[in-house]
Structure 1
Amino acid sequence: MSTLPPIATANNDASIVVCDRTRTAELLDFNKLVDSIAQAAAELDAGTILSPERMVVPLGDGGVLLSMPATAPDIGIHKLVNVQPSNVQRQLPTIHGTVTVCDSITGKIICLLDGPELTGRRTAAVTLLAIRTLLKRAPNAILLIGTGAQARYHVQAINALYPQCKVWVRGQDDQASSDFCTSGRQLHEHLEPSVSELPIDVDVVITVTTSTEPVYNEPARPGRLIIGVGAFKPEMAELGKVTLDGSDLFADDPAGARHEAGDFLRAEIDWARVGSLAAALRGEIDTTRPAVFKSVGTAAWDLAAARVALQSLPLAE
């Protein structure tokens, strides 16, 4: 179990540390995030981290406020995220939010972290943990489907853990793929736009879109891991039935997937087939089988990220 760093308890009158987006990013090293999420997955499975289903409340015209708490013996967190799709027309970010971190023993607020930055980085770290756990080797080539903000976080995470890995990128069209690679090479030099044919050397496919129709539905193939990240509503679907029916299925949060994993819901998968991330980490997998990992998220991963930030804060002061 993580222990609370000195900054949280050394001075009861200490001010709350407020971290903007830049500082939040500085505190959340991807390698540390992957390890922290692995620990949190075991604790969530054991019941020492409590992470209830998120609350969704209408906000304004077409927006929602998302409330996501999680608690552990050392810290508690509460992530509040506001999603306003109409902000695209206002030329404003669609997502705003913050993560409040407190000491579990005293309830004292320790710090505030930027919600979108923490979410983006810990989501990419979950993907990298899935690769480490289910592929069990460093990938040689990854196909990244999607060119939005989450795609950029994934490129950063891949560069942190697998700097020599080639990343093929497929966007809505050739121009989107090319533009993303041109701008993204400052984050990871081995980026190339993908043509319509699936590169034969790809051993991991990561989908980070908001598509309502499958963007990947290839026959399952041993040695190729498929990771679905973007579809987070029942009406969304990135992965098709052909792929899912031929693969062993895992989810970071199987309970949440029953409500949010549109890919699985549309394919009418047998939920008894879906293993948890914690089970995979315990080694209860056959790596010779094709595998699909569905990432839906849970506040437990935000708590894991908060632990990393707290461990880094004393060094940053």
Structure 2
Amino acid sequence: MLSAPTSEPAGTLDAAATAARLPWGPLADEIAALLHDSTVSVPARSVLPLPRGGSLFVMPATDSRVAMTKLITLTPANASTGRASIQGDVVIFDIATGERRLVLDGPTVTARRTAAVSLLAARLMAPVQQGPLLVVGAGVQGQAHAQAFIEGLGVREVWIASRSAGSAELLAQQVRAMGATARVVTDADAALPHCPLVATCTPAHAVVLTATPRPDAFIAAVGAFTPTMAELSPSLCLHMAQHGHIVVDTEDASHEAGDLLQAGLDVAAIPTLRDVVRGPFTASTGPVLFKSCGWAGWDLAAARLAMQAVTQREHP
């Protein structure tokens, strides 16, 4: 008698199961560990434009144990249809045998590894880690950053600014369900004096922050990842360079960090998160801007952490 087909092939995890494999603290720790691993190899990602304004991303990476590729589409037009803007998978292979071992939900990996990178950066560099946290943009990344900072840093107050009042209120409800207080605001710049932690998580179609941040501010800017995209004004970026500290996630930011490039900064000369992890970070005063553009190495860190459960099951 044939067995009934399953909804997911063996080794394929849906969004909830993928998230369960990637808890915030351990994921941030795995990202830090990856930056110490000399066997990691991450070629440049390929981005192929699609006919209707979308993009296809192919992002491979390997270390001494696993090889993985994230294959996702980004379709900005989906924002008005109810469909997910990011769709796809992360496929993980065993180096020794070449076997496919696991398939993770791509959007979940993207959301969690991006927020976990910001969490790691805040752990290492934020002058004031307890918040309040200002989240600009109330989509998937806004939710992920709120959750990561609540669970990973102990933040108990979150301010939310979004061009969509409905999305902002939904995120506020989610924040309250996480045990923190939430406040929806209409002016992100006006909220800056009240929030030492900031995460900008917008589609980066327009600048959302122009005001001068607090002297003890930590800003994680994650929305822009091409030279033409920006969430932060040039004047804000120049202020951070002159009066504080800027760190980028990887060397690739030198041709991807639109916020910084549009401010005329020499991004290639800016330290990376690897420098900070291997540091220590020695900044003593002034605000900190962490500019994150994304990197397949962060997906590899997520793949390594997700594979730990497989390895423990096979070798108890």
Conserved 8 A contact 2:149-2:155: no
Structure 2 partner of 1:18: 12
Structure 2 partner of 1:225: 218
2:71 to 80, 96, 100: 80
Greater relative CO (CA pairs within 8 A, separation 6+): 1
Aligned pair in 2 of structure 1 residues 220, 115: CA closer, same or farther (>3 Å)? same
Secondary structure of the 2:76 match is coil
TM-score (norm 1): 0.86
Which whole-Å CA distance do the structure 1 matches of 2:282 and 2:218 have between them? 13
Is structure 2 residue 130 aligned with structure 1 residue 139? yes
Aligned pair in 2 of structure 1 residues 176, 75: CA closer, same or farther (>3 Å)? closer
Amino acid at match of 2:280: G
Amino acid at match of 1:25: A
Structure 2 partner of 1:209: 202
Secondary structure of the 1:150 match is helix
Gaps of 5+ in 2: 1-8
Q: CA deviation at 1:234?
A: 1.9
Q: CA deviation at 1:266?
A: 0.8
- Counterparts of 1:50-199 in structure 2, within 5 Å, are 50-88=41-79, 91-135=82-126, 138-172=129-163, 176-196=167-187, 197-198=190-191
Conserved 8 A contact 1:16-1:109: no
Conserved 8 A contact 1:142-1:166: yes
Is structure 2 residue 249 aligned with structure 1 residue 252? yes
Conserved 8 A contact 1:134-1:287: no
Structure 1 partner of 2:283: 286
Amino acid at match of 1:241: P
Deviations 1:241-286 (A, max 9, x none): 22221222111113x2122211011111122541100111221431
Q: CA deviation at 1:116?
A: 0.5
Conserved 8 A contact 1:234-1:260: yes
Amino acid at match of 1:293: F
Which whole-Å CA distance do the structure 1 matches of 2:49 and 2:15 have between them? 25
Deviations 1:114-153 (A, max 9, x none): 1001110111101101100111653231111111111111
Which whole-Å CA distance do the structure 1 matches of 2:233 and 2:175 have between them? 28
Judge which range, 225-234 or 179-188, deviates more.
179-188
Structure 1 partner of 2:4: none
Which whole-Å CA distance do the structure 2 matches of 1:226 and 1:201 have between them? 13
Structure 2 partner of 1:49: 40
1:301 to 295, 298, 302: 298
Which whole-Å CA distance do the structure 1 matches of 2:233 and 2:296 have between them? 27
Secondary structure of the 2:35 match is helix
RMSD value over aligned CA atoms?
2.3
